[in-house]
């Protein structure tokens, strides 16, 4: 049976750190509030001229170097992002061009913070069907470009960065065991970026109404996230006949430490078995899971044969889980 196995990972975050102390000078907030309500200490901000495809390129280059393969061996490039360089073309096409990967088809996926796992679902299906053998999957975001720096409800949350994974077909026992993706558009208003699309095309009015920035009803989103993730992770374990004690590491989407702890506690997993980097990276949407995955893999927190559980929740609403045997 064909399976998708992660050959290598890579990640990249911009060098500029934006601390809570700096945010205190920008909006009516405090380090104490941000730490207590979110767990975030600082986030990274892309430099001027550093775009989503540039972040994706750095992460992908590391993943390719670590795998010891060249970009022309890639069959497909998928970039999960909600902050692409341009509406057209896909950021994956910019990435393909920069990597010099002429044999790869390239497209983007928009599933907000669940984007990387939605991309993993597509990757898994392509590989299992035999259609493609080697796929580069990236989550990359320059959220700072779409953050309303006058809105304290959102501007303290987001950060920029990218994470990449190269997956290839294997008939061995390791790899992606399951990926489950879900959506409920009923709740689209909880998290959106209203301007610039066909509903609110570019206009002075859209600009005046600050429609080109991300809007979030945080508290409502929070409550649905906690409820939904609880069921999601238990279902993922059950589907794989696994117990929480079989999971070496939980790698959650990095939105809020309280959401992460609630999910871990529901599973009975201690925080020492949970990957957390939102204190340093903030919420990087589709990039959060692959950055955390790369950090875990490159610091020895995942070993051969370990089971890891990935879970995400985001705008759409969307939510997703994956179980991977390393």
Stretch that binds ligand UT7, among 70-78, 118-126, 213-221, 229-237 (CB under 6 A): 213-221
Q: Is the CB of 38 or the CB of 51 nearer to ligand UT7?
A: 38
Apex 274 CA angle, 31 and 302, nearest 5:
130
Contact in structure between 315 and 146 (CB atoms under 8 Å): no
Question: Residues for the chain: how many in total?
Answer: 326
Residues 316 and 323: their CA atoms lie apart, in Å, by: 22
Contact in structure between 309 and 235 (CB atoms under 8 Å): no
Residues 112 and 316: their CA atoms lie apart, in Å, by: 7
Residues 41-80 that bind ligand UT7 (CB under 6 A): none
Contact in structure between 278 and 38 (CB atoms under 8 Å): yes
Residues 240 and 325: their CA atoms lie apart, in Å, by: 11
292 binds ligand UT7 (CB under 6 A): no
221 binds ligand UT7 (CB under 6 A): yes
End-to-end CA distance of the chain: 17
Residues 102 and 261: their CA atoms lie apart, in Å, by: 43
111 binds ligand UT7 (CB under 6 A): no
Q: How far is the CB of 149 from ligand UT7 (least distance, A)?
A: 12
Q: Is the CB of 165 or the CB of 255 nearer to ligand UT7?
A: 255
Q: How far is the CB of 55 from ligand UT7 (least distance, A)?
A: 18
Stretch that binds ligand UT7, among 4-12, 149-157, 201-209, 299-307 (CB under 6 A): 149-157
Q: How far is the CB of 226 from ligand UT7 (least distance, A)?
A: 9
Contact in structure between 267 and 233 (CB atoms under 8 Å): yes
Q: How far is the CB of 187 from ligand UT7 (least distance, A)?
A: 11
109 binds ligand UT7 (CB under 6 A): no
3-class state of residue 40 by DSSP: coil
Stretch that binds ligand UT7, among 32-40, 78-86, 128-136, 165-173 (CB under 6 A): 32-40
113 binds ligand UT7 (CB under 6 A): yes
> Would you list the DSSP string of 276-324?
--HHHH-B-GGGHHHHHHHHHHHTT-S-TT-EEEEEEEETTTEEEEEEE
Stretch 171-190: interaction string toward ligand UT7, x if CB under 6 A? --------------------
Stretch 252-281: interaction string toward ligand UT7, x if CB under 6 A? ---xx--x----------------------
313 binds ligand UT7 (CB under 6 A): yes
Stretch that binds ligand UT7, among 30-38, 80-88, 103-111, 243-251 (CB under 6 A): 30-38
CA 53 to chain centre: 15
Q: Is the CB of 163 or the CB of 175 nearer to ligand UT7?
A: 163
3-class state of residue 229 by DSSP: helix
277 is catalytic: no
Enumerate the active-site residues: 113, 253, 283
Interface ranges with ligand UT7 (CB under 6 A): 29, 33, 37-38, 113, 152-153, 156, 218-219, 221-222, 225, 255-256, 259, 283, 313-314
């Amino acid at each position: 049976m064909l399976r998708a196995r992660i050959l290598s990972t890579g990640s990249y975050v911009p060098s500029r750190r934006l601390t809570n102390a700096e945010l205190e000078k920008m909006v009516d907030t405090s380090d104490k509030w941000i730490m207590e309500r979110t767990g975030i200490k600082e986030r990274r901000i892309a430099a001027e001229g550093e775009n989503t495809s540039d972040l994706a390129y750095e992460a992908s280059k590391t993943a390719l170097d670590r795998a010891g393969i060249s970009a022309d061996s890639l069959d497909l490039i998928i970039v999960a992002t909600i902050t692409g360089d341009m509406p057209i073309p896909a950021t994956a096409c910019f990435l393909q061009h920069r990597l010099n990967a002429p044999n790869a088809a390239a497209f983007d996926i928009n599933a907000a913070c669940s984007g990387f796992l939605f991309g993993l679902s597509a990757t898994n299906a392509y590989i299992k069907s035999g259609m493609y053998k080697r796929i580069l999957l990236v989550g990359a975001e320059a959220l700072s470009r779409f953050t309303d720096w006058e809105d304290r409800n959102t501007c303290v949350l987001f950060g920029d960065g990218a994470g990449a994974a190269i997956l290839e077909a294997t008939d061995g026992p390791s790899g992606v065991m399951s990926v489950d993706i879900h959506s409920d558009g009923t709740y689209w208003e909880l998290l959106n970026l209203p301007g610039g699309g066909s509903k609110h095309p570019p206009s002075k009015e859209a600009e005046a109404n600050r429609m080109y920035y991300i809007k979030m009803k945080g508290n409502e989103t929070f409550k649905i996230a906690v409820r939904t993730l609880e069921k999601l992770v238990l279902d993922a374990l059950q589907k794989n006949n696994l117990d929480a004690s079989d999971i070496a590491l939980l790698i959650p989407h990095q939105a809020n430490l309280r959401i992460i702890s609630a999910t871990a506690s529901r599973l009975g997993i201690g925080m020492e078995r949970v990957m957390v980097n939102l204190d340093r990276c903030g919420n990087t949407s589709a990039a959060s899971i692959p950055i955390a995955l790369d950090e875990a893999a490159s610091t020895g927190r995942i070993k051969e044969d370990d089971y890891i559980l990935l879970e995400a929740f985001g705008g759409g609403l969307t939510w997703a889980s994956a179980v991977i045997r390393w």
